[in-house]
A and B are shown apart, each in its own frame.
Chain A
Amino acid sequence: MTKIGLEIHCQLTNLESKLFCSCKANYREFEPNENICPVCAGMPGSLPRLNQEAVKKATIISMALNCSTPEKIAFFRKNYFYPDLPKNFQITQLNIYGDTSVGGSGIITVGDKKIRITRIQLEEDPGRLIYEGSSSKNQITLVDYNRAGTPLVEIVTEPDFETPKEVRDFLNILSDLLKNLGVADPSLEGAMRADANVSIEGGNKVEIKNIGSFHDLEKAAHFEITRQESLHDRDIAIVQETRHWDDRRKITVSSRSKEEDLDYRYFLEGDIPWVKINPEIKTELKSKMPESISSKKERYVTKYQIPEQVADVLSSDKFYSDLFEESHSESNAKEVANIITTELMGLEDTREKRESSKLTATHLKDLADAIQSGKVSRNSSKNALHEILKTGKTVSQIISELDLGNVSDESELLKIIEKIISDESEAVDQAKSNPQTINYLVGKVMQATKGKADPTLTLNLLKKQIGI
């Protein structure tokens, strides 16, 4: 049986400042080494100043993943030399001296499978190394400490996955969950990373590191299983080792580094006293926790009769479900959900598009109302939506400026219908004998009005004119 376990690193990107100083947690918009201070640069004499908000956010994640949360948490030093690590130790958490990590064992359900969480720990991200130079001879390594000290949550799972597909599904659910909690935006570059350990029946555990994306994680797991199975088939022992994912060749490569042999000399970080997280704090955090994805979905289905599939898509996306909550009313909920899932999500499929979009909740509400009151056809609403995203003008302004309003003036519509009846005599005859085919004529009217004709009115007038 194949077993896969994960170590997922997720930056708490929604925090204002780093884990131990007041530099920005969002390091992405700075020139190299501009988002640093004596603390995160590890200058002599500086001390870590724990960001209490980060502890709260990590506790929220732990609770959302059904993990146990201890009364007191502690931080430890993981000692190793590496150029991206300003202090040459990382402040992290572990459970070897009792349950002192922010989250203990927990469970998350993926489909009908339960994945056990081993622990959740809060730690600091190191800086970044940038390699320059064409060959190994003239290669230079540049260090950028802007990221150093960024708050990171590490989620460790038990080896409960049996297929790469399960891993992928889990990561999607986890990513949606973290986003929904308002703690992180996993879509930011480097915000969510994962290592995997993979073993097959009768073989040793192999760790795969350096996997850049979730998509690659699935591929890496696939590759590794195949590799191990082929070794097994040939009676070659699978050695316990760390392998790196080669992004270019899409294979795993044995890393000759002696990472496994490193002794991290873990000991308590004396500069950060134990942090008490008493039951009152936990109750308060729980009460402020956003509604879970599953409960949202349930509500959409039962309260607004939104189809299950639509509700599923809508509830798992924090951005759009927030937009939905803001723009829907008792009467237009279904319409709003429909616009979001069938149109908007396609139009705003990248971060850039989403950020440059001028759409507000009011736009959505007005547009849904306009569709429902027959002011604009569902068809024309698509054009309106395009225009809203681009210009941000009000719905009524766009309808009149682009002349998207439904043709609901009877005499005007009648003229068009009369012309079509005379042009399409064959179809008219057919409709007379088989009333269902009248839809063809309705389509013709729509075509002539560029989709602006009120569909109900059109049908009624057509029937009347043909006499059926």
Chain B
Amino acid sequence: MNLKISALEFIEEAKNGNISVEEFVSTTLERINSVDDKLHAFLSVNDNVIEQAHNIDKKIKSGEKVGDCFGMPISIKDNMCIKDTKTTCASKMLENFVAPYDATVISKLKKQDAIFIGKVNMDEFAMGLTTEFSAFGPSKNPWNIEHVPGGSSGGSAVSVSSYECIASLGSDTGGSVRNPASFCSTVGYKPTYGLISRFGLISYANSIEQIGPLTRTVKDTAFMLNLIAGVDPNDNTTVNNNNENYLENIDSGIEGKKIGIITEMVGDGIDPEVMTATKEAISKLEGLGATCEEVSLEMVKYSVAAYYTITATEAGSNLARYDNLRYGYEMPVEGYEFNSYISKARKKFGPEVTRRMIIGGFVPSAGHAGKYFLKAMKVKSKLTKEINEAFKKFDLLIAPTVPILPFKIGEKIDDPVSLFLVDINTVTANLTGKPAISIPFKIVNGLPIGIQLMANSMNDKMLLQAAHALEKSVTLPEVPI
């Protein structure tokens, strides 16, 4: 059984009865069994999926209507609620939390006969970009297990790139889908803010984050988007996409498109290998009929500082509910009054989450908000103005997804500031609400490099067309695991 097929290939084969869904799913479980000890992509594996797969096979055989996913095995980042399933956010605080309801993306995929093969690892509460901040241990990069897989949706990227599932859902607050996608050589997509419902996604910085698919191909991403995008009455921030079909005309190419190369994202601090790859990508795009020229977004140099200020503020508020009163872990209340109880209970948060919550208590506080939080909000609005201006001239913007190659586990964990700076190329899309995608482009010294394309709000379809064109122009080696 070949697990190395795309979602669309799987569906075609399953639909035509060429492969048995049950066999595919059980082979996938075997694959997880054999490689995940090394990779640690999964926090929990759903062993009860065989029966579900069996029933889908039966339905296919008898000609009954089957959902669009045909039993495709999907992994889900462990910050999205699946009813009656543990949803831990890779945190000791929620180690035993069983979600009482389905996230909107989950109920949509359930209806389409997707199989949730397991919940995957992440940085605790999605705060981090290496998956090292998981309370349950780091995931490993399948291209070289000494290296980080990126994060925070590290488990998603690892599970897709090492054939432990066909596709995954991650969440992207400052690059958390695109960064691990780039580090693990998968497609990773952050849609326009509001395109996918966040209902059931455990909030970290709700005003800028989105759920996004990680897949083997851009077409698979378009397919997933067709299933999960659109207005949700449970999420007031969702936007109407008029039931757009993102797969339709995906082959449109990029001839005549104007692409801006963001000066601030290809300058200081970029690895030479990454720079070379970026230049190659630009010339490929030009070869396909696009015109590329540099454009400066001056606010980008403040974007990381603004990003961490805003996200810490929102995190401080979003994570306040974890007081262990209504759910959480076993800790008797006798002998405590409220404040002493919660300060003790909340000690289960890991170091990175604690750090950001402390910052989040400070930067928006009276007397400091003007210097930090409000200033960050100003950067956000200026950056948005700037990028909107750029999109008057350009259809797309290009930059490497991450300015450096995947680094070794432990290499940067004690230096939060240098770690923060790795986000420089991804946070702009979040702060401005624009769609962005990371496309696998090159393997250098056995380590992947991804290229990022960005488009204006609600131009997701055009962005996917361009990404597909770039993807088709390269052939990449297979993951060595």
Whether B317 sits at the interface, judged by CB under 8 Å, is yes
Interface residues in B, total, Cβ within 8 A = 45
Size bracket of the A interface: 20 to 34
Q: Which of B81, B237, B342 contacts A81 (CB 8 A)?
A: B342
CB <8 Å contact, B317 and A77 = yes
Q: Which of B202, B325, B326, B366 contacts A45 (CB 8 A)?
A: B202
Known A83-B325, A267-B364, A267-B373; contact A45-B80, beta-carbon cutoff 8 A? yes
By a CB distance below 8 angstroms, the chain A residues around B468 are none
Whether B113 sits at the interface, judged by CB under 8 Å, is no
Known A43-B100, A86-B321; contact A265-B316, beta-carbon cutoff 8 A? yes
By a CB distance below 8 angstroms, the chain B residues around A355 are none
Interface residues of B in 180-229 (CB under 8 A from A): 198-203, 206-208
Whether B11 sits at the interface, judged by CB under 8 Å, is no
Q: Which of A43, A50, A82, A267 contacts B317 (CB 8 A)?
A: A267
CB <8 Å contact, B321 and A271 = no
CB <8 Å contact, B200 and A45 = yes
Whether B87 sits at the interface, judged by CB under 8 Å, is yes
Known A44-B94, A46-B199, A47-B235; contact A265-B317, beta-carbon cutoff 8 A? yes
CA distance A48 to B94 in the complex (A): 21
Closest Cβ of chain B to A416, distance in Å, is: 75
Whether B233 sits at the interface, judged by CB under 8 Å, is yes
CB <8 Å contact, A273 and B202 = no
Known A81-B339, A88-B323, A270-B314; contact A44-B202, beta-carbon cutoff 8 A? yes
CB <8 Å contact, A50 and B320 = no
Known A47-B235, A88-B323, A89-B320; contact A271-B101, beta-carbon cutoff 8 A? no
Interface residues of A in 258-280 (CB under 8 A from B): 263, 265-268, 270-273
Known A47-B236, A81-B342; contact A42-B101, beta-carbon cutoff 8 A? no
CA distance A466 to B322 in the complex (A): 92
Closest to A42 in B: B321
Interface residues of B in 414-448 (CB under 8 A from A): none
By a CB distance below 8 angstroms, the chain B residues around A83 are 323, 325, 338
Whether A41 sits at the interface, judged by CB under 8 Å, is yes
Main secondary structure of the interface of B (DSSP, over half): loop
By a CB distance below 8 angstroms, the chain B residues around A271 are 203, 206, 235-237
Closest Cβ of chain B to A380, distance in Å, is: 59
CB <8 Å contact, B87 and A44 = yes
CB <8 Å contact, B321 and A87 = yes
By a CB distance below 8 angstroms, the chain B residues around A42 are 321, 326
Whether A79 sits at the interface, judged by CB under 8 Å, is yes
Closest to B319 in A: A88
Known A44-B81, A44-B321, A45-B203; contact A265-B361, beta-carbon cutoff 8 A? yes
CB <8 Å contact, A81 and B323 = yes
Whether B329 sits at the interface, judged by CB under 8 Å, is no
Whether B302 sits at the interface, judged by CB under 8 Å, is no
Whether A435 sits at the interface, judged by CB under 8 Å, is no
Whether A38 sits at the interface, judged by CB under 8 Å, is yes
Whether A49 sits at the interface, judged by CB under 8 Å, is yes
Q: Which of B89, B234, B338 contacts A47 (CB 8 A)?
A: B234
Interface residues of A in 26-75 (CB under 8 A from B): 38, 41-50
CB <8 Å contact, A44 and B97 = yes
CB <8 Å contact, A45 and B199 = yes
CB <8 Å contact, B234 and A45 = no
CA distance A44 to B94 in the complex (A): 10
Interface centre among A47, A50, A77, A87 (most CB of B within 10 A): A47
CA distance A441 to B97 in the complex (A): 86
Whether B249 sits at the interface, judged by CB under 8 Å, is no
CB <8 Å contact, A273 and B236 = yes
Whether B34 sits at the interface, judged by CB under 8 Å, is no
Whether B99 sits at the interface, judged by CB under 8 Å, is yes
Known A265-B364, A265-B365; contact A41-B207, beta-carbon cutoff 8 A? no
Whether A143 sits at the interface, judged by CB under 8 Å, is yes
Closest to B239 in A: A273
Whether B103 sits at the interface, judged by CB under 8 Å, is yes
Closest Cβ of chain A to B99, distance in Å, is: 7
Closest to A129 in B: B338
CA distance A163 to B203 in the complex (A): 49
Main secondary structure of the interface of A (DSSP, over half): loop
By a CB distance below 8 angstroms, the chain A residues around B365 are 263, 265
CB <8 Å contact, A273 and B366 = no
CB <8 Å contact, A79 and B317 = yes
By a CB distance below 8 angstroms, the chain A residues around B326 are 41-43, 86
Closest to A139 in B: B337
CA distance A87 to B94 in the complex (A): 15
Q: Which of A79, A270, A272 contacts B320 (CB 8 A)?
A: A79
Closest Cβ of chain A to B158, distance in Å, is: 23
CB <8 Å contact, B236 and A48 = yes
CB <8 Å contact, A143 and B325 = yes
Closest to B323 in A: A88
CB <8 Å contact, A50 and B202 = no
Closest Cβ of chain A to B36, distance in Å, is: 25
Known A81-B338, A82-B338; contact A50-B313, beta-carbon cutoff 8 A? no
CB <8 Å contact, A45 and B81 = yes
By a CB distance below 8 angstroms, the chain A residues around B361 are 265
Closest to B361 in A: A265
CA distance A88 to B325 in the complex (A): 11
Q: Which of B199, B237, B366 contacts A263 (CB 8 A)?
A: B366
CA distance A43 to B83 in the complex (A): 12
Closest to B327 in A: A43
CA distance A265 to B94 in the complex (A): 25
Closest to A33 in B: B326
CB <8 Å contact, A265 and B313 = yes
By a CB distance below 8 angstroms, the chain A residues around B202 are 44-45
CB <8 Å contact, A49 and B338 = no
By a CB distance below 8 angstroms, the chain A residues around B342 are 81
Contact with B along A150-178 (1 / 0, CB 8 A): 00000000000000000000000000000
CB <8 Å contact, B206 and A45 = no
Interface centre among B80, B97, B200, B326 (most CB of A within 10 A): B326
Closest to A264 in B: B366
CB <8 Å contact, A49 and B99 = no
Known A38-B100, A44-B94; contact A50-B236, beta-carbon cutoff 8 A? yes
Interface residues of B in 294-335 (CB under 8 A from A): 313-314, 316-317, 320-323, 325-327
By a CB distance below 8 angstroms, the chain A residues around B314 are 267, 270
CA distance A45 to B89 in the complex (A): 11
Interface residues of B in 83-102 (CB under 8 A from A): 87, 89, 94, 97, 99-101
Closest Cβ of chain A to B190, distance in Å, is: 16
Closest Cβ of chain A to B381, distance in Å, is: 12
Known A38-B101, A263-B365, A273-B236; contact A45-B316, beta-carbon cutoff 8 A? no
By a CB distance below 8 angstroms, the chain A residues around B321 are 42, 44, 86-88
Known A38-B100, A38-B101, A45-B103; contact A272-B338, beta-carbon cutoff 8 A? no
By a CB distance below 8 angstroms, the chain B residues around A48 are 236
By a CB distance below 8 angstroms, the chain A residues around B200 are 45-46
By a CB distance below 8 angstroms, the chain A residues around B325 are 83, 143
Closest Cβ of chain A to B48, distance in Å, is: 22
By a CB distance below 8 angstroms, the chain A residues around B89 are 44
Extra contacts besides A81-B339, A271-B203 (17): CB < 8 Å: A38-B101, A43-B100, A43-B101, A43-B327, A45-B200, A45-B203, A48-B236, A49-B234, A49-B236, A81-B342, A83-B323, A87-B320, A265-B316, A265-B361, A265-B364, A267-B313, A267-B317
Return 22 A-B CB contacts under 8 Å, by A number: A44-B202, A44-B321, A44-B322, A45-B200, A45-B203, A46-B199, A47-B198, A47-B203, A49-B233, A49-B234, A79-B316, A83-B325, A87-B320, A89-B320, A265-B366, A265-B369, A267-B314, A267-B317, A267-B373, A270-B208, A271-B237, A272-B236
4 cross-chain pairs, A with B, having the tightest CB-CB distances, nearest first: A270-B207, A88-B320, A45-B200, A44-B202
Binding site for B on A (CB under 8 A): 38, 41-50, 77, 79, 81-83, 86-89, 141, 143, 263, 265-268, 270-273
